[in-house]
């Protein structure tokens, strides 16, 4: 059984149609997003191979993308995945305290998922919000100027939305 359902293939076709025929490989990032969204938030080797086959590129090219960008995960994540910026500007503003607060609040270490499957977190490179560090991102929402208390409050608010 193919991991590319007819519905997903239709979405792939739509995305690829936006690119010149000789530049199909440029669609690797949006195709990986579609796969990850439709398969529980993580990508397997089989998913990566399916994207490579669809685009007609070597699997290694797809794998390079999935391992370079932190928005992709090769293992399951929580329904709410938190990314905490760990680069120098945020480090100077106290991201270590944010990581410790999130770890304490969730009861898991970075790259782990809470027992209920609701949360996971990781420390990532720049989230491009240096002016409001320390920052964390959940989905498309960035939370800045965090304190340990405000980071925990964000988690509380996200938990109530479940």
Give the pLDDT of residue 89.
Answer: 93
Domain 80-160 -> CATH class: alpha beta
**Three-class secondary structure of residue 116 per DSSP:** coil
**Exposure string over 42-72, b if 16+ CB within 10 A, otherwise e:** bbeeebbebbbebbeeeeeebbebbeeeeeb
Give the pLDDT of residue 162.
Answer: 57
Give the pLDDT of residue 30.
Answer: 95
Helices (H), strands (E): how many in the chain?
A: 7, 4
Give the pLDDT of residue 1.
Answer: 46
Q: For the chain, how many residues are written?
A: 162
From the list 59, 58, 54, 66, the residue with the least C-alpha distance to 2 is 54
List the chain residues with pLDDT less than 50. Answer: 1
Give the pLDDT of residue 43.
Answer: 92
Record the tokens describing residue 38, joined without a space.
């439709």
Give the pLDDT of residue 161.
Answer: 66
pTM: 0.78
Give the pLDDT of residue 52.
Answer: 95
Sign of CA dihedral 25, 31, 33, 39: negative
Model pLDDT for residues 65-105, shown as the tens digit of each residue: 999 988 898 988 899 999 999 999 999 999 999 999 999 99
List Cβ neighbours of 81 (8 Å cut-off, separation of 6 or more): 41, 73, 119, 120, 121, 122, 138, 139
């Amino acid at each position: 059984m193919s991991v590319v359902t007819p519905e997903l293939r239709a979405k792939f076709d739509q995305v690829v149609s936006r690119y010149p025929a000789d530049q199909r490989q440029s669609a690797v990032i949006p195709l990986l997003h579609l796969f990850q969204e439709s398969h529980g938030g993580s990508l397997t080797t089989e998913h990566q191979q399916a994207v490579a086959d669809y685009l007609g590129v070597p699997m290694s090219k797809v794998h390079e993308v999935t391992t370079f960008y932190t928005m992709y995960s090769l293992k399951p994540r929580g329904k709410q995945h938190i990314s905490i910026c760990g680069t120098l500007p945020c480090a100077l503003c106290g991201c270590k305290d944010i990581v410790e607060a999130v770890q304490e609040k969730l009861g898991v270490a970075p790259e782990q998922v809470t027992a209920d499957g609701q949360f996971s977190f990781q420390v990532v490179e720049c989230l491009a919000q240096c002016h409001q560090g320390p920052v964390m991102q959940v989905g498309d929402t960035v939370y800045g100027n965090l304190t340990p208390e405000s980071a925990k409050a964000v988690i509380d608010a996200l938990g109530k939305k479940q």
